[in-house]
């Protein structure tokens, strides 16, 4: 007697192939191990780069700190922490303000210094990041969308002659988000995303592979 039409039918089992199993196991191993290897490799490159730059500046009495990997990095972290602490008192603020005033009088250097200072201030105070909201924008052509980030909603000093409410949106290039495009777009053309900016940035860096349900949400 044939089964009723609504009965669940099991899909046919695929025959076991040793080469297919070996290939899938190898790819699974690569997917699990390579992220750790790449992360460790990048950390090693950064530590080695800092060590080689700090070691020539270390006095002979402190050479023992540069005889193991990461010693130069520890010294750099300690020095930056000390400078940051000193800059918080009256004398430190006076030195910083004097240096700022001196650099502000140099035509070309002040532009570079001012931009770098603003960028690193954002790094030092991530709770005040300029990425206020992740959005979708039609870019680079109508019908195609790219992830962007609202960086400034008060753009009157830039777009005052246009007479339209425009918002500054940064559209990063994947997979290196430090380069991209600054666009001034009408507010009503922006499609707000429900995910926070750091999650949207992960989509850009991973070329859209990472999803929130993958367990890498960072929360």
CATH number where 186 lies: 2.30.30
Q: Is the pTM of this model over 0.95?
A: no
Q: Does the pLDDT value for residue 69 go beyond 60? A: yes
Stronger pLDDT, 192 or 52, i.e. the higher one: 192
Tell me what pLDDT residue 217 has: 40
**Domains contained in the chain, number:** 1
Judge whether 59 lies within some domain.
Answer: no
Q: DSSP per residue over 47-82, as a string?
A: HHHHHHHHGGGS-GGGGGGGSSTTHHHHHHHHHHHH
Average pLDDT over residues 134-161: 86
Judge whether 80 lies within some domain.
Answer: no
- pLDDT tens per residue across span 18-68: 888 888 888 888 888 888 888 888 888 888 887 787 777 777 766 666 666
Tell me the pLDDT band of 213, cut-offs 50, 70 and 90. Answer: low
Judge whether 136 lies within some domain.
Answer: yes
What is the domain range of residue 194?
A: 129-214
Residue 117: how many CB atoms within 10 A of its CB? Answer: 11
Tokens of 124: 């030092």
């Amino acid at each position: 007697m044939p089964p009723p039409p609504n009965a669940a039918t099991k899909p046919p089992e695929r025959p076991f192939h040793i080469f297919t199993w070996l290939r899938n196991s190898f790819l699974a191993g690569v997917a699990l191990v390579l992220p750790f290897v790449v992360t460790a490799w990048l950390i090693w490159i950064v530590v080695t780069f800092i060590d080689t730059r700090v070691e020539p500046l270390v006095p002979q009495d402190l050479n023992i700190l540069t005889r193991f990997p990461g010693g130069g990095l520890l010294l750099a972290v300690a020095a930056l922490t000390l400078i940051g602490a000193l800059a918080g008192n009256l004398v430190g603020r006076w030195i910083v303000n004097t240096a700022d005033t001196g650099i502000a009088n140099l035509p070309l250097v002040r532009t570079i210094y001012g931009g770098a200072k603003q960028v690193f201030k954002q790094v030092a105070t991530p709770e005040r990041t300029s990425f206020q909201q992740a959005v979708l924008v039609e870019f680079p052509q109508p019908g195609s969308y790219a992830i962007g980030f609202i960086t400034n909603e008060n753009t009157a000093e830039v777009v005052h002659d246009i007479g339209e409410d425009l918002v500054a949106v940064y559209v990063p290039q994947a997979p290196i988000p430090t380069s991209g495009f600054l666009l001034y777009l009408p507010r009503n053309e922006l499609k707000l995303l429900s995910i926070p900016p750091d999650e949207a940035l992960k989509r850009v860096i991973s070329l859209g592979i990472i999803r929130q349900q993958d367990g890498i949400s960072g929360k």
